[in-house]
Amino acid sequence: MSMVKVFLVDDHSVFRAGVRAELAASSEIEIVGDAGTVAEALEGIARTSPDVVLLDVHMPDGGGLAVINATANQPARPVFLALSVSDAAEDVIALIRAGARGYVTKNISGPDLAEAVVQVHSGDAYFSPRLAGFVLDAFASGSPAPEPEEGQDPAVDALTRRELEVLRLLARGYTYREIGKQLFISVKTVETHASNILRKTQQSNRHQLTRWATSRDLA
């Protein structure tokens, strides 16, 4: 399996060095470059063609949003994963709306960060557990789920029929594209359902979600 090429963008050189050291322990990841400004990031991304870009949200010259917006028309656009000290809802929503596939806070462990990189590269979304709810609030539509009846699993009961269908297919190893074809919905709609499911079940990634679904005989 080829390694995931990662480019790191953060205006603190000590933090960049720390992330490099943490990710160097992963056999699945190769750091191809880093940058401390938006301009350096754009040049470095164009030069190294990374698979995943780890983005700080707040930087003096625009930060993550500026990088994502500046690469909007690139034919071979990388996947963006926000890595920020901020856990504010407006930051999470802004980055996801701009095109980031995930958002994690800087207190994440090295192994979890490596897992997040691999997950977003594979096509999954990845959020620190409490942040997934912000995405649901921003993108979900329709009426709230009804109150669960006594004795039922509240997390399972909160899932809509369509979300249960998507959950079962995710747990069985289907890709977003395969799920879309099977359910006759777009990949973007599958991504939205997946984000909703992560938030409602309070899981961080697909592997955890699969274990959660299997333990409840939903796979």
Q: Write the DSSP string, the chain.
A: -PPEEEEEE-S-HHHHHHHHHHHTT-TTEEEEEEESSHHHHHHHHHHH--SEEEE-S--TT-HHHHHHHHTTT-TTPPEEEEEES---HHHHHHHHHHT-SEEEETT--HHHHHHHHHHHHTT--EE-GGGHHHHHHHH--SPPPPPPPTTS-HHHHHS-HHHHHHHHHHHTT--HHHHHHHHT--HHHHHHHHHHHHHHHT--SHHHHHHHHHHTT--
Average pLDDT over residues 26-35: 94
So what's the pLDDT on residue 82? 93
Average pLDDT of every residue of the chain? 84
Please say if the pLDDT value at position 100 is more than 60: yes
SS (H, E, C) 91-144: HHHHHHHHCCCEEEECCCCHHHHHHHHHHHHCCCCEECHHHHHHHHHHHCCCCC
The reported pLDDT for the residue numbered 17 is 93
The stretch 147-161 carries a mean pLDDT of: 65
Please, which pLDDT band fits residue 92 given cuts at 50, 70 and 90? confident
Q: What is the pLDDT of residues 163-213, one digit of tens each?
A: 888 898 888 888 888 888 888 888 888 888 888 888 888 888 888 888 888
pLDDT at 32: 96
Has residue 152 got a pLDDT over 60? no
Record the pTM. Answer: 0.62
Please tell me the distance from the alpha carbon of residue 63 to that of residue 116, in angstroms, as a whole number. Answer: 20
- Residue 72: is its pLDDT beyond 60? yes
pLDDT digits (tens, 9 = 90+) for 107-121: 888 999 999 999 999
Residue 30 pLDDT exceeds 90: yes
150 pLDDT exceeds 50? no
